[in-house]
Amino acid sequence: MLEEVKKGAVRMEELLYIEGKHIRENTIGRNKVNIDQIKLVQKTFETVRHIPEVAGLFYNHLFHLTPSLKSLFKGDMKTQGRMFMQMLDYAVTGLDKPDTIIPIMQELGKRHVGYGVKEKYYEAVGESLLWTLEQGLGKDFNQDVKETWVAAYKLLSDTMKRAAREVE
């Protein structure tokens, strides 16, 4: 996924300061989203989140991609699906208000350490999320939408991962 971000002309000006200096020092320093891209993520998510069983699609595909992740989930998957979608909705809605979502994503990332989640697992979740968006959007899932979501997911997941490192 990182390769795609590097190749894509994805710009995240509005969010660059999310990770402050750190992001600038890394390859993801180029990874910025502008306000139009934020709107694109919000609009496409609005379509997909209303699809019945969308979270089920997402988790089924995730476990298809990486069956070993299934055992990390101990609770009811319907409830889990609802919580995942709600959190994603909150994050997507707040993309243009980073101050509101950063601390939430950081705490979420830290909690995930307790669920046994390792950094490398974020890639499969990102893959499954993109695949789910593609199922939901059909032909509207074009290269622009894909690259923008890659960047947005990277931003959110990097925020979670970085915070998780503090507790590991």
Backbone angles phi, psi at 30, to 5 degrees: -80, -10
Q: Is residue 167 part of the contact set for ligand HEM (CB under 6 A)?
A: no
- Smallest separation (angstroms) from ligand HEM to the CB of 36: 22
Contact 146, 7 (CB under 8 A): no
Our CB check for ligand HEM shows the closer of 17 and 115 to be 115
Q: Is residue 125 part of the contact set for ligand HEM (CB under 6 A)?
A: yes
Q: Is residue 74 part of the contact set for ligand HEM (CB under 6 A)?
A: yes
Distances (CA, A) of 158 to 6, 19, 41, 64, 143: 15, 9, 17, 24, 22
Total number of residues that touch ligand HEM (CB under 6 A): 20
**CA gap 22, 65 in Å, rounded:** 31
Which amino acid would we find at residue 5?
V
Binding to ligand HEM by CB under 6 A, coded x per residue (else -) over 14-53, reads ----------------------------------------
Torsion of CA 35, 36, 42, 44, to 10 degrees: -160
Our CB check for ligand HEM shows the closer of 39 and 110 to be 110
Our CB check for ligand HEM shows the closer of 69 and 95 to be 69
How many CB atoms are closer than 10 A to CB 51? 14
**CA gap 94, 15 in Å, rounded:** 11
What residues make contact with ligand HEM under the rule CB under 6 A? 69, 72-75, 80, 83-84, 87-88, 108, 111-112, 115, 117, 121-122, 125, 156-157
